[in-house]
Amino acid sequence: MSQWVVLAVNSVSLGGLLFLLSAGFSLIFGLMRIPNLTHGSLFMLGAYVGVTGLRLGLDFWSAALLSGLAMAVLGGAMERLLLRRLQGQELPQVLLTLGLSFIVADLCLMEWTGDPISVSTPATLRGFVPVLGFVFPVYRLAIVLIAAAIAAALWLMLDRTRLGAMIRAGVDDPAIARVMGIPVSRLFTAVFCLGAGLAGFAGMLGAPILSVYPGLDGEMLPLALIVVILGGSGSLPGALVGSFVIGVLYNFGPALFPELAYVVLFLPMLLVLVLRPQGLFGRQTP
Amino acid sequence: MKPAALALAGVALLTLPYWIGGPYYVNIASQILIWAVFALGLNVLVGYGGLVSLGHAGLFGTAAYAAAWLVAAGAGQLAAATGAIGLTLLMSALFAVLALRATGIGFLMITLALGQILWGIAYRWISLTNGDNGINLSARPMPLGLSLASPAAFYFATLVIFALAVGMMACFVASPFGASLRGTRDQPRRMSALGYDVWLIRFLAVLFSGFWTGIAGLLFCYYDQFVSPHLLTLSSSAEVLLMVISGGSGTLLGPIAGAALVVAMKTIASAYIERWNLVLGAIFVAIIVLMPEGLVPGSRRLWRWALQRRGTPAEGVAR
Amino acid sequence: MIALEARALSKSFGGLRVSADVSLAVEAGERRLIIGPNGAGKTTLFNLITGELRPDSGSVHLLGRDITSVPSRRRAHLGLARTYQIITLFPRDTLLHNVMLALLGLSPLRWNPVVELASCSALRQRALDALARVGLEGSADQPLAETTYGERRRVEIAMALAQRPAVLLLDEPFAGLSIPERQQVLNLLLAIPRDTTIVMIEHDMDVALEFAERITLLHFGAVIVEGTRRDVVDDPRTREVYLGA
């Protein structure tokens, strides 16, 4: 019995991490129509940067913020220096992000070596807390709370601010958005920075649970992809729902179907593709 | 290609084991041919169909694993080969039905996901695939009783298949169906209005592409005598895609040149540099930013530009 | 005999009604002109007729047969051809290849993956003949990208005619053409034999009125006036639509 509770808690906390990762991916895809194949690498690199921050004496939260900021800057540079040169050409942009993901992966290997690095849970959030007769790890609950807070903040931003309105307009119809004077190019950079920053922050946030190791990028990217195809591109509610569905499948799958765990993970995505290609909450067909 | 150049290439390929300097290089040549067939297969979709797939390593691996599994289970070589290609065609059909729900980027994402699923099966369904340990083949097949154990013998067998592949591709490209496929790449809406069944054309193209991808996978299985999940990773799909775009999609020579380039670089560079992925990624980025049409058309373009600067009348507009 | 008929075609996008209960019947061999201000729903009507858009209600009949549920790609085989406002041909290919693609579209040969297209001499000849009908057989081997806009429009018409359609839909065929080019295209269209029924959308009244026998005026997705050239030109509602209430 308690095994299932543990899996449930892990599902929810993974869901929270996935949301932070996929929200950025979804916004980038929805606005710029490119699946950013570097997203997994940004998650991993963010975690590695955070590790270096810890080694330089920063506390956990400062390191996590550093991860987010560093990835935001890197993302912005990627967008302005490379992606913008290929403006309008979706396929070359996607392939560019693919190439960059290989470069980042190997650079990480060179800098931080191939050994997995474990990160200790921040001191204030160690231990367990009793809830309703069960004990839950504090840190995993904290992740869920942080993800929820960021989700709320993102939703407020999209719904209430000018920037959010511009993003939503750009997602709905980029051509009209341009005609209406929305600075689409600057918007692209902003959204890319935001997405990359969230990914990097998520990487560090997840480090105490997942550790940091080469191949982390290859594990996280397909998950972000499934979440966005499932939930619909450019949709925050979609990313939220999708993340928790995948979090559950990722944890319960290997327990229930050890050999087909990976297939189980992709099944809802395949179903959605057959029945409703634009995703559960999506507006545009891919 | 001019007949003289073609004849020269033919002679060079036929006599390769005698001048290339050792079995190590003969093996590299075999690898280049295998990957050239793979790249040609992918190019049917990418270059002529306008459909970029990032999941083709999944089809390649399906054929390789199916062959290995059937041989290990005791099947004869013909049964193993037919079974492998048959399964790959089925898998290609499945890919097509799912991925053709979208075009462009959507198609790319779905093929990526499908390729990942196949990798996941190879990696996790241990009772079927032996997981990370892979499947070993004790010996290469002996078609018509001839041994393919030596590098030179295997090379010649591969060369025959490669020649067949190139021949069929050339036929395909020059055929009405090839023209239909190219039409759907350039103006799908117009093609539909002209009476073409765009979905069916693309579906058949995926099958044709899957067939040659499967042949390449089969060849690789016999070449290496070992299959592992690494064959189906995203980076494998990316590598073959790089071969197509670096050489130049939409030409026949391009994927072959790209395969030669990437395999040569990977093999030779790995001996000196540890970071193959870094180099792969860097080349990817460089080509996309600097010479997006690929080396073959890009070189032609440079050649014509050079001729023009010297005052020689340039050739007509190339296709 | 009615060659093309639309019965109560309606289409809305969200709250926007782009076709409101449009009915029209075109006799075999007729030359029908569809006019109306921008946004009147003329191209939408064409898209509904060719099947690129599915109507919310209503039906389309070609040569007496209800084709409402026939997929768009089959309608060419039933005798329907169209040209587009924005020319979307195959710029990397020669004029000859463009026309050959039009011919192949209706031929089972299009599924053949082994024979060499360049050696299909019967097909080539038919394509050359089609180009000759629009006066472009001399440029057959020129890439489309190197031709003028007027020439491309003629190629497009050659491609449509090559399919020997029973009904030909022309969407603003004169748009973007110079005066002499317009005359060329007009002469071309006037020379099309009566076994092809023609429906044309056009803004340029000078040339279009020379061509039309009957005119349908659309506004806000609905048919406002329909009749002979004289009827429509004299009708006060026509002036209202174009000059405002």
Interatomic CA distance for residues B64 and B72, integer angstroms: 12
Residues of chain B in contact with residue C92, where contact means CB-CB under 8 angstroms, are 186, 319
Task: Compute and round to an integer the Cα radius of gyration of chain A.
Answer: 18
Interatomic CA distance for residues C211 and C215, integer angstroms: 10
Residues of chain C in contact with residue B190, where contact means CB-CB under 8 angstroms, are 84, 88-89
Domains of chain A by residue range: 2-275
Per DSSP, the three-state class of A58 is coil
pLDDT band at B270 (very low <50, low <70, confident <90, very high): confident
- Amino acid identity of residue C172, one-letter, is E
Using the Cβ of C77 and the Cβ atoms of chain B, whether some distance falls under 8 Å is answered with yes
| Residue whose token pair is 């050489």 | B247
Interatomic CA distance for residues B189 and A274, integer angstroms: 22
Using the Cβ of B180 and the Cβ atoms of chain C, whether some distance falls under 8 Å is answered with yes
DSSP assignment of B209-272 equals: HHHHHHHHHHHHHHHHSEE-GGGGSHHHHHHHHHHHHHH-TTSSHHHHHHHHHHHHHHHHHHHH
CB A167 within 8 A of CB A278: no
Domain A2-275: CATH class, spelled out: mainly alpha
Q: Which of C77, C88, C89 comes nearest B195 by C-beta?
A: C77
Predicted local distance difference test score (pLDDT) of residue A62: 92
Shortest distance, CA B201 to any CA of chain C (angstroms): 8
Phi/psi of residue C31, nearest 5 degrees:
-115, 105
Residues of chain B in contact with residue A102, where contact means CB-CB under 8 angstroms, are 235, 238, 277-278, 280-281, 284
The residue-averaged pLDDT of C213-228 equals 90
- Higher per-residue confidence, A34 vs B228: B228
Residue C200's DSSP bridge partners are C33, C170
Predicted local distance difference test score (pLDDT) of residue A235: 83
User: How many helices, marked H, and strands, marked E, lie in chain A?
Assistant: 11, 2
Model confidence at C171: pLDDT above 70: yes
Using the Cβ of B133 and the Cβ atoms of chain C, whether some distance falls under 8 Å is answered with no
CA angle C231, C234, C237 (to 5 degrees): 95
> What are A260's two structure tokens?
């087909």
Count of B-C CB contacts under 8 Å: 88
Provide the angle, in degrees to the nearest 10, between the axes of the packed helices B105-124 and A90-112.
40
pTM here? 0.89
Per-residue confidence of chain A (286 residues) as pLDDT tens digits? 577 888 888 899 999 999 999 999 998 988 888 889 999 999 999 999 999 999 998 899 999 999 999 999 999 999 999 888 887 777 788 889 999 999 999 999 999 988 999 988 888 888 888 877 777 888 988 999 999 999 999 989 888 888 888 888 877 777 777 788 778 788 889 999 999 999 999 999 999 999 999 989 988 998 998 898 888 877 888 899 999 999 999 988 888 888 888 888 888 888 887 777 777 777 654 4
Cβ-defined contact of A285 to B123 (cutoff 8 Å) = no
Interatomic CA distance for residues A205 and A119, integer angstroms: 10
> Scanning every residue of chain B, which has its alpha carbon at the shortest distance from the alpha carbon of A91?
B105
Cβ-defined contact of C105 to B317 (cutoff 8 Å) = no
Residues of chain B in contact with residue A101, where contact means CB-CB under 8 angstroms, are 281
Q: Which fold has domain B22-293?
A: ABC transporter involved in vitamin B12 uptake, BtuC (1.10.3470)
Predicted local distance difference test score (pLDDT) of residue B310: 66
Within a 13 Å sphere around the CA of B211, how many CA atoms are in the beta-carbon half? 11
Cβ-defined contact of B187 to C89 (cutoff 8 Å) = yes
Cβ-defined contact of C73 to B195 (cutoff 8 Å) = yes
Q: Which of B98, B234, B281 comes nearest A273 by C-beta?
A: B98
The residue-averaged pLDDT of B27-39 equals 95
Cβ contact C–A (≥3 pairs, < 8 Å): no
Cβ-defined contact of A218 to B234 (cutoff 8 Å) = yes
- Amino acid identity of residue C77, one-letter, is H
Residues of chain B in contact with residue A286, where contact means CB-CB under 8 angstroms, are 102, 105-106, 109-110
- Reported as a single tens digit per residue, the pLDDT across B59-68 is 999 999 999 9
Using the Cβ of C1 and the Cβ atoms of chain B, whether some distance falls under 8 Å is answered with no
Starting at the edge strand that comes first in sequence, how are the strands of the sheet with C197-201 ordered? C80-82, C167-171, C197-201, C31-35, C214-219, C222-228
Q: Which of B174, B180, B317 comes nearest C110 by C-beta?
A: B180
Instruction: For an interface test with B, give the residue of C52, C70, C90, C100 to mutate (most B CBs within 10 A).
Output: C90
> What are A17's two structure tokens?
């991490």
B95 burial (CB, 10 Å; 0-12 / 13-18 / 19+) is buried
Label the pairing between strands C197-201 and C167-171.
parallel
Shortest distance, CA B80 to any CA of chain A (angstroms): 24
Predicted local distance difference test score (pLDDT) of residue B314: 43
Q: What is the ipTM of this complex?
A: 0.91
CB C134 within 8 A of CB C157: yes
Domains of chain B by residue range: 22-293
Tell me which of B64-73, B265-274, B301-310 is least confident.
B301-310
